[in-house]
Amino acid sequence: MNDLALEVAASAARLVVEEGLAFGPAKHRALKELGLPARTAMPSNELVEAEVRDYIALFCADTQPAQLQALRELALVWMQRLSEFRPHLGGAVWQGWATRLCDVDLALFCDDPKSAEIALINQNQRFEVQTVRGLHGDDVDVLSLHSFCQPLNEDVGVHLRIYDLDDLRGALLPDAQGRSPRGDLTALQRLLAA
């Protein structure tokens, strides 16, 4: 790892924590803020995540644990509401470096992709539908909504990625560090109890 990659990763980490940017946009903005050419090699997401964790430990150690707890509790509420769709929590809230600016990312594994939309309509939830790249590079629908988080006293984005039930098998393969990229309701309850 070179010093330039570390500097870009540290700058991107600050943007992730302080402004809630995703890793990709944070890395691009870090390049711009550092006055580096757009063709500069980007640091890996793993390096940015390590820098995010370091930044939180230095500057947010007094507030971040409570914010993470609040976001995990909100995720638990939505996972219970949507339990029939085998919800799995992923992203920053699952990995443990989320702050109040992070959204809750859930993967739903459905027999019928439209059934999750129907369930939200039946719960009188307003949501937007968008399409993003999914687990295997295929396009998947994401149902995005806002949910009030009482401990944070603000609305939090909740994003529901809709997958086929068959995708569940590959969704739990460990990442490069050997960590599970997402966890089910039982796994989240264990985190909350710890």
Residue spans per domain, the chain: 3-59, 64-193
Structure token digits, residue 191: 């985190």
- Is 2's pLDDT higher than 90? no
Token pair listed for 3? 């010093």
How high is the pLDDT of residue 184? 95
- 36-86, pLDDT tens digit by residue? 998 999 999 999 999 999 999 999 999 999 999 999 999 999 999 999 999
What is the Cα–Cα distance from 88 to 104, expressed in whole angstroms? 11
pLDDT of residue 135: 79
For residue range 110-160, what is the model confidence (pLDDT) as tens digits? Answer: 999 899 999 999 999 999 999 998 877 889 999 999 999 999 999 999 999
Please tell me the CATH superfamily of domain 64-193, with its number.
Beta Polymerase, domain 2 (3.30.460.10)
pLDDT score of 1: 58
Cα dihedral value 27, 28, 30, 34, nearest 10: 140
The DSSP string of 50-106 is HHHHHHHHHHSTTTHHHHHHHHHHHHHHHHHHTGGG--EEEHHHHHT---TTPPEEE
The per-residue pLDDT for 133 is 87
Under the banding of pLDDT at 50, 70 and 90, the label for residue 177 is: confident
What pLDDT was estimated at residue 176?
75
Q: 37: which DSSP letter?
A: -
Task: Tell me: pLDDT of 190 over 90.
Answer: yes
Residue 7 pLDDT greater than 90, yes or no:
yes
How would residue 11 be classed by pLDDT, with cut points 50, 70 and 90?
very high
Q: What pLDDT is stored for residue 170 in this prediction? A: 74
Compute the distance between CA of residue 158 and CA of residue 146 in angstroms, rounded to an integer. 6
